[in-house]
Structure 1
Amino acid sequence: MKDPKDWTQKDLHVHLQHALDVEFWTIPLYLTALYSIKGLSELKPKDYPEAAKLVQSVVIQEMLHMEIVCNLCTALGYEPRFPTPKYDKNKGIPFIHPKNSHIPKDLLGYQVKVGPLDAETLKLFCVVEMPQPWKDIEWAHKKSYESIAELYTALKEGLSHHWLAQYVGDEKNTRQKNIFSEYHDSDHLHHGFSQTVNSLENALNAIEAIMEQGEGADSGNIPEDFRPPSLEDVDEYHAGWFKGELCHYRKFNILFHNARHLPPVHEVIDGQEAPEIQTKLEASFEAFRKELERSYALEGSEMTPGFWQHMMALPTPIMDLWKLGVCPVWK
């Protein structure tokens, strides 16, 4: 594997796209499990069972991670793409190849497939977000990345060496988005993640935030400007910050080890089909995917109006399919 210090501009762009692909890949996976929980359509998010709140918080934070990666892309002159995710047990997790020797024994045997929120699905979630032991990485001796954290470690090293040569400059860095930090504390002050990427320092801080929030063990390691607020300090419930002190791996690991206490989920009924609803989901997701590409190619900090419309349209067909005993298919 090429050492990040020797990357070309193309290598840097390819790795940014890989990071984006992995983040985007997790979203349908986690949404499918979240909305398999019975009764969510009748509840407001603040009234969801704790398991649902944990999964929903991860989904929202993955959207934030996507935004950060896209801001890195545009700061470095690359237009991000959103190819349709594929879930193939024969191909595994995109760009990530965990060694069995590093996977806890109780997580071995995981399968890459969408499914309800149960122990088998949570095995996959834990492996996706699994921490990587801190160590010096000898890139010449590696053939692939063993974790998302390793991929981001390579990006950090690549950025450190190539930022000055690759940054487009403040005048051209005009597509930075800032849509997942709209949060106000009890004094109505803006609070939350600051995603704008216009210097090497905040580029590295942004990657560190992604790593710690996803696979890290201690939210205290996240740079202060990138930390979620404590829910006790604010007036309103915010789904994205539920149990914000826990990383994604820890959230999923808690659910996995307490699987017998998970809320009831809809089961797949063999032979059951719902082609009209499945088609609706496919159309909604394709529209959402296209709006993501349009939005991140758009000048300014705002997304397209259609982005919000299509994002909010996704849960309904997912829940409708599950109610009929059909596991959603993403294509």
Structure 2
Amino acid sequence: MSQVQKAPEVVQKAPKSCPTTWTLEELHAHLQAAVSLELCTIPLYLYAMYSIELTGHRGKEAHCTLLEVVVQEMIHLGLAGNILTALGGRPRVYGEAFTPKYPSELLYEGVLMTLAPADKHQLKAFAEIERPAEMGAAHSFDIPEPPNDRKAVQYLSIGEFYKAIMEGMNQLNNSGSLTFDKNSTGKQWTGKELHHKNPECTDAPTRSTIPELAPITDYETAIRKLNLIIDEGEGRGLTDTGKGAEPTESSHYDRFKKLSDYPELNVYPLVSNPRTSLFKDLEDTKYSEHCYPYSYLLLTLEAGWTYEGPGDINSGGIGPNLHNLMTEVMGPIAKVLVRQKLKNFQKNAAPPFNLYTFNLHSSPKAEIKALIEEAISRYSYPAEDKEQFEKALKGVGDLHDIKLDGIQ
């Protein structure tokens, strides 16, 4: 019997409030929560993006807007993980304890996260997720002053949560307890690994590198990047770009508000919150084809922080995996799924963002390849769907394999 890798135990629960006195352990817990928080939004936005029928200008514009937001959320995830790595922590995203499940409430917002098509209701929910805690608040590099009564104040928004992280870093920095490991830069993700290119968005800017995603080496850089996360998510009406600010495009809140004000988009009638187990023995659709590459995406992210960085030989030079998995593997498979009608559910199929735990002693790349080859040979798909599966198979061929024994 093959040995299957066990999911990691829950290392820490997400902090609910700001500590009265910060410790490095408290800061690590908050940064891990930030990693989890950013990860939670990515399947939401990808699912909505996949649901849009690419007919007409509005559908393509909405698709590309969601894609841009996903790329920025990946940057935020990378930055939070980089800061945690620079401070001696280890970011976790792969495993039952860390991979998001749907439906569930988003940390610090109380907004129900549901994998659903990009209708008006869902787009308004996205705007609510990104809504600023204080609409129209001015941007400032300054660390927020703590309230006079600093007794475990409950976080009411994502922005408040990130401000608390900056406050904690400031407190530890002033006490001399904040040390950045300059030798950790090779273990951090950079913009060259997360390049942005999508054939459906030819009018959108293509970036071969993303300068916002960079190694964290000191306190000032960390604070600047945390401010960037708040600005790109909630938006602050930036009027100055002083030493602590980085220029941003329209915030996620502004983008989703604009999309939700549109007339209804043409979307596929997808089943909400799909789980692989729900369709077992009921449908011909093979949902695992999407679960495997999504799980490999998470594994790739964690491996980059775990080994000696995305380019390390032990991790197989996995930097290109992020782009290849999202664009060349997950995207084509999703295109096939959303067009398939489910005979038992009166809905269309949809990409499930379920966790698959790879065999500890196997090759994840080989597992994904075998699954897609089986789908091509076993099921009778229209020519355009078979073409998408073959594209995904080619994308798998370009992936770098990962040694699983280091991700435990």
* TM-score, normalised via structure 2 length: 0.63
| 1:278/1:317 contact within 8 Å kept | no
1:314 aligns with 2:330: yes
Which amino acid is 1:51 matched to? Answer: A
Partner of 1:279: 288
Partner of 1:199: 218
Which of 15, 18, 21 is matched with 1:6 structurally?
A: 21
* Distance in structure 1 (CA, Å) of the matches to 2:20 and 2:186: 27
Partner of 1:250: 254
CA offsets per residue over residues 245-280 of structure 1, 9 Å max, x none?
31000100111122x1x4311013799975643111
* Distance in structure 1 (CA, Å) of the matches to 2:29 and 2:172: 14
Which of 21, 38, 54 is matched with 2:65 structurally?
A: 54
Which amino acid is 1:278 matched to? Answer: Y
Q: How does 1:134-173 map to 2 (within 5 A)?
A: 134=137, 138=147, 140=150, 144-163=154-173, 164-173=176-185
Higher relative contact order (CA 8 A, sep 6+): 1
Superposed displacement of residue 299, structure 1: 1.9
Which amino acid is 2:131 matched to? Answer: M
Q: How does 1:218-229 map to 2 (within 5 A)?
A: 218-220=237-239, 227=246
* Distance in structure 1 (CA, Å) of the matches to 2:255 and 2:99: 26
1:122 alignment partner, SS class: helix
Which amino acid is 1:160 matched to? Answer: N
* TM-score, normalised via structure 1 length: 0.77
CA separation of 1:156 and 1:263: change in aligned 2, threshold 3 A = same
1:176 aligns with 2:226: no
| 2:28/2:89 contact within 8 Å kept | yes
Superposed displacement of residue 226, structure 1: 7.0
CA offsets per residue over residues 194-233 of structure 1, 9 Å max, x none?
52211111110000011001101324456679746xxxxx
| 1:209/1:223 contact within 8 Å kept | no
Higher helix proportion (structure 1 or 2): 1
* Distance in structure 2 (CA, Å) of the matches to 1:117 and 1:87: 16
| 2:191/2:210 contact within 8 Å kept | no
| 2:191/2:211 contact within 8 Å kept | no
* Distance in structure 2 (CA, Å) of the matches to 1:7 and 1:169: 19
CA offsets per residue over residues 139-186 of structure 1, 9 Å max, x none?
745553211111110111111122442324323443232125769xx9
Which amino acid is 1:19 matched to? Answer: A
Cα RMSD between the aligned structures?
Answer: 3.4
Which amino acid is 2:332 matched to? Answer: T
Partner of 1:327: 350
CA separation of 1:296 and 1:48: change in aligned 2, threshold 3 A = farther
CA separation of 1:59 and 1:191: change in aligned 2, threshold 3 A = closer
Structure 2 stretches of 5 or more lacking a match?
1-15, 138-143, 197-204, 273-277, 312-316, 341-347, 355-408
| 1:205/1:223 contact within 8 Å kept | no
Partner of 1:77: 88
CA separation of 1:48 and 1:124: change in aligned 2, threshold 3 A = closer
Structure 1 stretches of 5 or more lacking a match?
99-109, 229-243
1:13 alignment partner, SS class: helix
Superposed displacement of residue 15, structure 1: 0.4
Structure ID, larger Rg:
2
Superposed displacement of residue 7, structure 1: 1.7
